[in-house]
Amino acid sequence: MYHGFSRTIIVHWHARSGSNAAIHPAQPLFPIDALRNSTAWYILAAVGYAAGMSRLRNYRPMGNALMTVAGAYAALLLVLYFGQNSLLYLPDIPSRELVASPADIGLSHEEVRLETADGVGLHGWYLPAPAARGTLLFFHGNAGNISHRLDSLRIFHRLGLNVLIVDYRGYGRSEGKPSEEGTQQDALAAWNHLVTVRGEAPERIVLFGRSLGAALAAWLAARERPGALILESAFISVPELAGELYWWLPARRLARLQYDTREYLAGVQCPVLVVHSPQDEIIPYHHGLALYHAAHTPKTLLELRGDHNTGFLLSGAAYVQGIDAFLSAHLSPAVP
């Protein structure tokens, strides 16, 4: 099952804008200090170093070895900088095809078709629960699609929640190609469907995000006013995680994709549940702790056991009871 982050996607970069200040006679004509703070500095430095190594051709074998290493490093920076979207978004792992449906586990559901503000068609499922205590809007991780989340759908159904789960653009049967801004538009379209089309009261909507989806849930919670927010196996931000996992690359400076969960939490006013495992091998536990400390009160920390993708299953009753207690304490009751 693919519930959260894949190991292959963590290196991302952010292009920094230069200065618009006027050039005075005392200033250098070319703003080298600004360049040093830009993504171009690292790429140009690596490429320049590789070119310089070509002068060592006459000093074989050391010259050839150094030139090969420098060239490979420069090529890696170029590939990762220009190809980061394809490294983050993994709709084809294990498959873009939907391999199952809620009916396969005995749950009734409706096929849902949405259109985003920028005209992209999305596909999802709506699963009603009898005498529902609220509605959960589910944002999944970066790999796979909604059909790989049936275990979670079963759990939330047993907790008495209606569930809307939607595939991001480029995932499953949804149209388009994923991007950071695009996935945010997808999250907003799903929210609008619940509030506008289905008439759900915002205070009875729970935003749930796992891994990459947690950043989207936090972004949406800062923009709207849901009843509660659940962040499971979440990261502080993509650049922060990249810098830790790939210390040998200037990942923080080069990051273009942000998904800054901690920054979003500053604008979240609803109760927050942070769920994380100390054994998470992809997103370290201290990310969950940092997000818990960043959240406003009321907030709760639920510790899982097990790895990134299956910790919620291995934790069993502790996971279900923890979410149940959080919902009971903070979710508004239905209005008769």
All domains in the chain, ordered by first residue: 102-238+257-330 (3.40.50.1820)
Catalytic residue among 280, 287, 315, 330: 280
Catalytic residue among 233, 308, 315, 330: 308
The first and second tokens of residue 271, run together, are 């109760």
Whats the size of the chain, residue-wise? Answer: 336
3-state helix, strand, coil in the chain (%, to 5): 45, 15, 40
Contacts of 210 by beta carbon, 8 Å cutoff, 6+ apart: 3, 4, 139, 140, 141, 152, 232, 233, 234
Gap between the Cα atoms of 307 and 224, Å rounded: 31
pLDDT digits (tens, 9 = 90+) for 150-176: 999 999 999 999 999 999 999 999 999
pLDDT digits (tens, 9 = 90+) for 287-322: 999 999 999 999 999 999 999 999 999 999 999 999
Query: Coil, helix or strand for 320?
Result: helix
DSSP 209: E
Of 242, 229, 230, the residue nearest 283 (C-alpha) = 242
Place of tokens 């200037």: 250
Mean pLDDT of the chain: 85
Question: Which of 1-15, 79-93, 112-126, 317-331 comes out lowest in average pLDDT?
Answer: 1-15
pLDDT at 252: 83
- Is the per-residue pLDDT at 16 higher than 60? no
Residue 282 CA from chain centroid, whole number? 13
Q: Where are the alpha helices (DSSP H) in the chain?
A: 32-36, 39-53, 62-82, 84-88, 150-158, 180-192, 212-223, 238-245, 251-254, 261-265, 285-294, 311-314, 317-330
Active-site residue flag, 328: no
- Is the per-residue pLDDT at 11 higher than 50? no
pLDDT digits (tens, 9 = 90+) for 175-196: 999 999 999 999 999 999 999 9
pLDDT at 131: 94
- Residue 204 has φ and ψ, to the nearest 5°, of -110, 15
- Is the per-residue pLDDT at 2 higher than 70? no
pLDDT at 52: 53
- Residue 112 has φ and ψ, to the nearest 5°, of -120, 135
Active-site residue flag, 12: no
**Within 13 Å of residue 253, how many CA atoms lie on the same side as its CB?**
15
pTM across the whole model: 0.82
- Is the per-residue pLDDT at 96 higher than 50? yes
Give the whole-number percent of the chain exceeding pLDDT 70. 79
Catalytic residue among 6, 152, 174, 211: 211
Give the whole-number percent of the chain exceeding pLDDT 90. 68
pLDDT at 204: 97
pLDDT at 209: 98
Active-site residue flag, 280: yes
DSSP 195: I
- Is the per-residue pLDDT at 128 higher than 70? yes
pLDDT at 81: 75
